Amino acid sequence: MAITSGSVVLESGTQATVISDTSTIADAAFNGATITALTPSDVVPFGDAVLTVTMSTAPSAGAAFHLYRRDLNIDGTNDATVPDANYKNIYLGSFPIDLVTTIQYVSLPGIPLAPDQEFYLENDTGQTTTSSTTTIVKITPRSYNVKA
């Protein structure tokens, strides 16, 4: 299929690691370590997220990790509140988890991005992640452009 000149095409930015947690993440808890802000050099409207996780015990059916965004510098240099069990402000979506203890790669496409943000994971699987592998979330910024 040929795309004609002047058509709108999807462009991808460089994938960035926004969460890299080497500790365990308990059930009903948020990740607690190594959060890297995503501040794309170009403000883009959305991106695709990928979770890499290994569970210590196979979770129950319907288990998931939930992804939240914390916007930074929203009022001058003031940031939004960090998401926790009592404050789940900007929910971006859920990563459904398979009923296995092997490493899993789960995609969450089309999440909305802000000019400056951090991301947080909530473990809603009924089980704890394993500490022998790192729990990682990567974001690939995406935008539209006109084909020359």
The tens digit of pLDDT for each residue in 119-136 reads 999 999 999 999 888 999
* pLDDT band at 30; cut points 50, 70, 90: very high
Is position 41 within any domain?
yes
Query: Which of 83 and 6 is assigned the larger pLDDT?
Result: 83
pTM here? 0.91
- Give, as one character, the DSSP assignment of residue 44: -
What is the domain extent for residue 112?
A: 15-143
Instruction: Answer yes or no: is 115 within a domain.
Output: yes
What per-residue confidence (pLDDT) applies to 53? Answer: 96
Residue 70: pLDDT above 90? yes
Counted domains in the chain: 1
Residue 107 lies inside a defined structural domain of this protein: yes
**Interatomic CA distance for residues 65 and 94, integer angstroms:** 6
Does the residue 78 lie in any domain? yes
Residue 148 lies in a domain: no
In this predicted structure, the answer to whether residue 42 has a pLDDT above a threshold of 80 is no
CATH code of the domain covering residue 131: 2.60.120.260
Please indicate, yes or no, if residue 54 is contained in any of the structural domains. yes
Residue 135: inside a domain: yes
**34 pLDDT exceeds 70?**
no
